Structures are given as structure tokens and as C-alpha cells.
Amino acid sequence: MASEDGSALPGRDPAWKYCLPIEGNRNGTICNFCGLVMKSGGITRFKFHLMQKDPHNNTKKCPRVPPEVKEEIRFLVHDKTKAKAKKNADIEEIRAQLRGTMGTHHTHLVDEDDDDEDVENEDVYMYPADMHPDERDAYRSAVRASKASEWERGTI
């Protein structure tokens, strides 16, 4: 976030209480413990500075960070990593379910009624990308017959 004059404003990240934003640089921080000025990398890189552990090896370790702060930041980063991994796993599970529902072939949405005059009765079908037009007609007829029988039974 930036204010009207372009200076960085501390966000919701708890690590902001251990640094100051650099005026006019939204990704810059100044460490409250050692005074290190980091002109880029934002709050994430600053957390690596406080943890004294950087997976990219491009951040100077803070020599004056108290052990309790170092541990707090380590837990913040660990919890964020776990939450991100869970979110990605959940997204992948949903994608796998959708792939199972829709089949392994890519499908295209085909609007059988191109004019938008009668939107209520518009038939829209999902077809596999490699389906021949004759097969589409047979598929469409089968879907319509199925819908008609469901209407007759009163299940729709």
C-alpha cells in the first residue's frame, strides 16, 4: 500500500512492528534492531533478515534480533507456508474432482442457439474437443430425451 506521497505504509503483517517503511519506497524497510536499510524485497525479505535464515541467500542476517522475536517470525513464516500448502492442496483436489466430473478430455462450451432472443429456452452443451459434429447431434438428442423423461417423471 502507498500513501498519497508514495511512501510505504505498514500493512497487516505482524512483522511491521519490527521495522519502519522507507519514505517513497513501498518495498523498502529499515530494521528496528540493527538499522539495516533494505531497499527491496518488502516485508517477506525483512522476515528472512530477522529469522537469520534466507532460502535465497540474498539477505543479511540481523545481528541484534532478540531470540523471542526470531522465534515469533519463524512461526509466522512456518504458519504462512503451511496455510499456503493446504490452500494449494485444496485447489488441486477441487481441480481433480472437476476433471473427474467433466472427463479427461478438454471440453468446449457450444451454444446451439446463437440468437439471444429466447434466452429461457437456450440449449448449451459441453462437448469433448475431439467430438465429431455427427456425434454432437446424437449426444444432444440423447440429452434432450433424458430431460424429457425426467420431466415426465416429475424429477425436474
Q: What is the mean pLDDT of residues 134-141?
A: 80
Q: What is the pTM of this model?
A: 0.55
- Cβ-contact 112, 139 below 8 angstroms: no
Query: Tell me: the pLDDT tens digits for 6-50?
Result: 334 567 899 999 999 999 998 999 999 999 999 999 999 999 999
Q: What is the mean pLDDT of residues 66-71?
A: 96
- Rounded to the nearest angstrom, the gap between the alpha carbon of residue 78 and the centroid of all alpha carbons in its chain is 18
Question: Regarding predicted confidence, which is higher, 116 or 141?
Answer: 141
Domain boundaries of the chain, sorted by first residue: 14-99, 105-153
In order of 56, 124, 136, 141, the CA distances from 109 in angstroms are 44, 7, 12, 17
Neighbours of 15 (CB within 10 A): 21
Mean pLDDT of the chain: 80
Residue 80 has pLDDT above 70, yes or no: yes
Residue 120 has pLDDT above 80, yes or no: no
